[in-house]
């Protein structure tokens, strides 16, 4: 597995080389039952998830901390190319109205017998949000990688 993380100007990029096929990786990223297994970092758990996987479809992921605090991410799919690419908006329900949606792009590229997953999260409000979201994605991917290996 190759792991790489970088960030620039309110954008973060993370890359992972996985042994599973793009179809398997895409399914784990988009199937609601699988999303519940990985889409919350560290000790957090996914309390509820909804996925309407189509352009214009919405998703909602409620992540709960061990102390019971819940954080909810919501957004809309802008591009869905099965087994290849997803683009969707991302916002925390708790974000003030002044925060516009950020954008998540996930690419699933065939790489030998596996997949190179490239995640780009752009248009975050500030560098602090980049740092926090990098930690969150890294923590979620720590659960995702074994799911597809």
Residues 56 and 75 sit within 8 Å (Cβ to Cβ): no
Tokens 């309110």 correspond to: 10
CA distance linking residue 45 with residue 38, whole number of Å: 8
Mind listing the pLDDT tens digit for each residue in 64-106?
A: 999 999 999 999 999 999 999 999 999 998 876 767 899 999 9
**CB-count exposure of residue 94 (10 Å: 0-12, 13-18, 19+):** exposed
- Rounded CA-CA distance 111/20 in Å is 10
What are the φ and ψ backbone dihedral angles of 71, each rounded to 5 degrees?
-120, 135
Question: What is the Cα–Cα distance from 125 to 119, expressed in whole angstroms?
Answer: 18
> What residues pair up with 51 in beta bridges, in sequence order?
59
CA distance 37 to 77: 21
State both tokens at 101: 């949606």
Q: Is the pTM of this model over 0.85?
A: yes
The Cα-based distances of 111 to 20, 27, 49, 82, 83 in angstroms read 10, 17, 30, 16, 13
Q: What is the pLDDT of residues 15-73, one digit of tens each?
A: 999 999 999 999 999 999 999 999 999 999 999 999 999 999 999 999 999 999 999 99
Q: Give the chain's domains with CATH numbers.
A: 3-144 (3.30.530.20)
């Amino acid at each position: 597995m190759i792991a790489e993380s970088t960030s620039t100007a309110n954008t973060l990029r993370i890359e992972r080389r996985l042994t599973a096929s793009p179809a398997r990786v895409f399914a784990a990223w988009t199937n609601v039952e699988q999303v519940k297994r990985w889409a919350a970092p560290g000790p957090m758990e996914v309390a509820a998830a909804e996925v309407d996987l189509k352009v214009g479809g919405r998703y909602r992921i409620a992540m709960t901390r061990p102390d019971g605090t819940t954080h909810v991410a919501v957004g809309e799919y802008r591009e869905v190319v099965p087994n290849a690419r997803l683009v969707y908006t991302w916002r925390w329900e708790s974000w003030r109205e002044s925060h516009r949606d950020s954008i998540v792009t996930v690419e699933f590229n065939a790489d030998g017998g596996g997949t190179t997953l490239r995640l780009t999260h752009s248009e975050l409000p500030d560098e602090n949000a980049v740092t926090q979201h990098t930690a969150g994605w890294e923590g979620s991917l720590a659960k995702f990688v074994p799911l597809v290996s």
